[in-house]
Amino acid sequence: MRGRDVKILVAESNQLLAEAIGDLFAEANDGHPVLTARSVPEAVEVARREAPDLVVIDHWIGRDSVEGAVRAVLVESPRSSVFVMTTRVDETMSSRIRSLGAACIDKETLHDRARELVESVRGT
């Protein structure tokens, strides 16, 4: 389904993973480039400047807490849909992230769910 272009930000401290995840989301978004950030401050700045539709933040983004990153990104870009990538989604963490207005996604399912996430934002 082709709809509006979705502006996507991937916040991941590891350069190779940031590129790979960015490529995955670019493919899911009909080839449109993806913004990347390698730290929480950079992600917050990009969110402020670009107001992305979809933000995907790695759970272990630098030394900063992911909860603080989610809060800060949503302050700067309150209309963004935010997802926290993690290798182990548990109910406690999921509940904390949901209380901030975001959601968790397991990194192992990211490849299969990237298009679904893009389409869910595109449809809003």
The domains of the chain are located at: 8-122
pLDDT digits (tens, 9 = 90+) for 56-79: 999 988 666 889 999 999 999 999
Q: Are 117 and 92 in contact (CB under 8 A)?
A: no
In this predicted structure, the answer to whether residue 100 has a pLDDT above a threshold of 90 is yes
Q: Return d(Cα 80, Cα 84) in angstroms, integer.
A: 13
The pLDDT of 27-52, averaged and rounded, is 95
CATH fold for domain 8-122: Rossmann fold (3.40.50)
The pLDDT of 104-122, averaged and rounded, is 92
What helix, strand, coil percent values describe the chain, rounded to 5?
50, 20, 35
